[in-house]
């Protein structure tokens, strides 16, 4: 590989780049989709190519190709430089990168069982067993079960001498049951609605025990058809990790992306209410219980790696400390603008995309004291919400509205009857300030999403969120009419 990366960097610098980096990425994917007890689709895919990013006259250019050949490396490097020169015709603030030590070394996701070495029929069999357990439940209209694995070999080299090689492996599996009657369509999923993804090997899939959970979740989907509508009003709410991780993702992860704060996503996904003046002021983001960290070293997280796609070493960056907003997800370009060093959050979705600031593993740290069960026992009256069904948040990440698959009544410290179609809404910082209990280590687990959308052209990000569940007071439940 080194001869190829050297060639690309040499051509770019000879053409006028003051900085250049190149990533050669090979991605292998496998997926299994099962619907109502039958194998609907099994696919494997492989893609390989390279992307060259250059700075010329303080402006960025990026070009990429799947043809990994010397001539093409030269053509694409020259194209990147030409693009950068075009960028420079509409430039007001030349790019300045922070210093970082040149990156060298290798990294591989720790795993026990290589998911690509497990025989396909065994993986299909495991998933079928879970899916059919759900399908057998009377009243289930259809089921959908999925398995996926992705491995990426990534070589990064930069004109400052950096050279790293990484092998990242992610797996996911989930089962979902749907029940339909008239206009009512109810769904329950396990382990979460995002596909149960994590970093590691097939041991992660076995640990999910999909088959052991499938029947109960299918029964709950059917039961929801005749469950009462979730009441509206102000309630105490306990969020299960299967919902809380997405709350963290949308209302803390995205607004702490420093490129958003500086407006570079404004025309697409929006900006952020967490402007830099709030960092200086020590803005109260949440209650004293809220500690949120972006940790690219957390075991099992899809945001775990050795170096980001700018060659910055993985690290843990505090975002919120005891409820106070203290930091951002950042890059070599954005961090110096607030007088800091890059937090190492730049990642690209494959060889044909530029790196953007992405969440690593944005985790809500557990609090010693009460387990999630004990938080429920400590709650006189409220609702326990599980598994995301719908999400939406405004373009500055303030007003959010989530729907979950199910709500369970909490009365006298015990879980009671089911409610269907729960929704809750709020303003981000008001919601997090209303948190008065966070679960301890016993329910702390790593979840995540493999399809975090950002950027133009669109990129899907694999990000992690470890959470333990939490309680919030005076939350608005129920919106809309049905």
Cβ-contact 446, 364 below 8 angstroms = no
Q: Which of 4, 6, 35, 139 binds other proteins (CB under 8 A)?
A: 35
In order of 57, 118, 287, 301, the CA distances from 170 in angstroms are 38, 14, 33, 9
Q: Is 44 in the site for other proteins (CB under 8 A)?
A: yes
Q: Is 60 in the site for other proteins (CB under 8 A)?
A: yes
What residues have CB less than 8 Å from 303, skipping those under 6 apart? 294, 295, 296, 358, 359, 360, 361, 362, 448, 462, 463, 464
Q: Which of 12, 76, 214, 313 binds other proteins (CB under 8 A)?
A: 76
Q: Is 130 in the site for other proteins (CB under 8 A)?
A: no
Longest dimension (CA), the chain: 73
β-sheet bridge partners, residue 459: 454
Decide whether 59 or 111 has the Cβ nearer to other proteins. 59
CB of 88 to other proteins, least distance (A): 8
Decide whether 163 or 328 has the Cβ nearer to other proteins. 328
Q: Is 128 in the site for other proteins (CB under 8 A)?
A: yes
Q: Is 394 in the site for other proteins (CB under 8 A)?
A: yes
Tokens 């009512």 sit at which residue? 184
Q: Which of residues 102-121 bind other proteins (CB under 8 A)?
A: 119-121
Q: Is 184 in the site for other proteins (CB under 8 A)?
A: yes
Q: Is 87 in the site for other proteins (CB under 8 A)?
A: yes
Q: Is 43 in the site for other proteins (CB under 8 A)?
A: yes
Decide whether 44 or 70 has the Cβ nearer to other proteins. 44
Decide whether 152 or 265 has the Cβ nearer to other proteins. 265
Q: Is 231 in the site for other proteins (CB under 8 A)?
A: no
Q: Is 13 in the site for other proteins (CB under 8 A)?
A: no
The span of 4-12, 160-168, 364-372, 389-397 binding other proteins (CB under 8 A) equals 389-397
Q: Is 67 in the site for other proteins (CB under 8 A)?
A: yes
Decide whether 175 or 376 has the Cβ nearer to other proteins. 175
Residues 342-371, one symbol each (x = binds other proteins by CB under 8 A, - = not), give ----------xxx-----------------
At residue 85, φ and ψ (nearest 5 deg) are: -65, -35
Q: Is 233 in the site for other proteins (CB under 8 A)?
A: no
Q: Which of residues 249-278 bind other proteins (CB under 8 A)?
A: 262-270, 273
> DSSP of 396-451, one letter per residue?
TS-EEEEEEEEEEEEETTEEEEEEBS-EEEEEHHHHHHTEEEE--GGG-EEEEEEE
The span of 166-174, 183-191, 205-213, 466-474 binding other proteins (CB under 8 A) equals 183-191
Report d(CA 388, CA 397) in Å as an integer: 18
Q: Is 138 in the site for other proteins (CB under 8 A)?
A: no
Spatial CA neighbour of 248 closest among 407, 374, 435: 435
In order of 133, 175, 232, the CA distances from 36 in angstroms are 10, 10, 34
> DSSP of 266-286, one letter per residue?
TTTT---S--HHHHHHT-B-S
Encoded tokens for 456: 């133009």
Report d(CA 111, CA 104) in Å as an integer: 22
Decide whether 79 or 162 has the Cβ nearer to other proteins. 79
CB of 365 to other proteins, least distance (A): 27
Q: Which of 10, 18, 377, 425 binds other proteins (CB under 8 A)?
A: 425
The torsion angle over the Cα atoms of residues 293, 296, 301 and 302, rounded to 10 degrees, is 120
Provide the CA 331 distance to its chain's centre, in angstroms: 18
The torsion angle over the Cα atoms of residues 146, 151, 157 and 163, rounded to 10 degrees, is 130
Decide whether 163 or 262 has the Cβ nearer to other proteins. 262
Report d(CA 93, CA 108) in Å as an integer: 37
CB of 221 to other proteins, least distance (A): 13
Q: Is 441 in the site for other proteins (CB under 8 A)?
A: no
Q: Which of 18, 47, 297, 371 binds other proteins (CB under 8 A)?
A: 47
Q: Is 337 in the site for other proteins (CB under 8 A)?
A: no
Q: Which of 12, 17, 20, 84 binds other proteins (CB under 8 A)?
A: 84
CB of 455 to other proteins, least distance (A): 8
Is the dihedral angle over the CA atoms 252, 244, 197, 389 positive or is it negative?
A: negative
């Amino acid at each position: 590989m080194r001869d190829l990366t050297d060639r690309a960097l040499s051509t770019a610098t000879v053409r006028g780049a003051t900085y250049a980096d190149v990533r050669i990425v090979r991605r292998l994917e496998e997926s299994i989709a099962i619907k109502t007890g039958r194998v609907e689709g099994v696919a494997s895919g492989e893609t390989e190519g390279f992307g060259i990013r250059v700075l010329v006259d303080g402006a960025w250019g990026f070009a990429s190709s799947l043809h990994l050949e010397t001539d093409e490396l030269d053509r694409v490097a020259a194209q990147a430089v030409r693009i950068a020169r075009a960028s420079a015709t509409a430039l007001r603030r030349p790019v300045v990168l922070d210093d970082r030590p040149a990156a060298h070394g290798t990294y591989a996701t720790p795993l026990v069982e290589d998911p690509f070495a497990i025989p396909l029929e065994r993986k299909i069999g495991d998933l079928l067993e879970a899916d059919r357990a759900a399908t057998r439940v009377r009243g289930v209209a259809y089921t959908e079960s999925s398995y996926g694995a992705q491995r990426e070999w990534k070589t990064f080299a930069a004109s400052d001498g950096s050279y790293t090689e990484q092998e990242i492996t992610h797996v996911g599996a989930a089962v979902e049951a749907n029940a339909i009657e008239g206009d009512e369509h109810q769904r329950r999923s396990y382990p979460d609605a995002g596909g149960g993804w994590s970093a590691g090997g097939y041991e992660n899939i076995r640990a999910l025990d999909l088959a052991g959970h499938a029947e109960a979740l299918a029964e709950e989907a059917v039961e929801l058809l005749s469950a009462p509508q979730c009441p509206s009003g102000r309630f105490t709410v306990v969020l299960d990790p299967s919902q809380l991780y997405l709350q963290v993702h949308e209302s803390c992860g995205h607004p702490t992306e420093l490129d958003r704060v500086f407006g570079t996503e404004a025309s697409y996904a929006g900006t952020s209410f967490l402007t830099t003046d709030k960092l200086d002021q020590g803005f109260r983001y949440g209650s004293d219980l809220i500690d949120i960290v972006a940790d690219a070293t957390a075991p099992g997280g899809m945001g775990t790696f050795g170096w980001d796609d700018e060659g910055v070493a993985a690290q843990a960056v505090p975002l919120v400390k005891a409820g106070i907003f203290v930091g951002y997800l950042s890059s070599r370009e954005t961090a110096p603008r607030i007088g800091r060093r890059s937090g190492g959050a730049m990642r690209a979705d494959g060889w044909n995309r530029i790196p953007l600031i992405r969440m690593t593993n944005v985790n809500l740290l557990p609090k010693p004291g009460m387990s999630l069960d004990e938080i429920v026992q400590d709650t006189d009256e409220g609702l326990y919400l599980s598994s995301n069904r719908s999400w939406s948040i405004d373009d500055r990440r303030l007003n959010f509205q989530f729907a979950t698959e199910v709500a369970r009544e909490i009365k006298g410290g015990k879980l009671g009857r089911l409610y269907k179609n729960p929704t809750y809404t709020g303003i981000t910082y008001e919601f997090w300030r209303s948190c008065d209990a966070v679960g301890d280590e016993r329910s702390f687990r790593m979840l995540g999403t493999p399809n975090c959308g950002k950027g133009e052209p669109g990129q899907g990000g694999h990000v992690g969120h470890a959470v333990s569940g939490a309680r919030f007071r005076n939350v608005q439940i129920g919106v809309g009419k049905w």
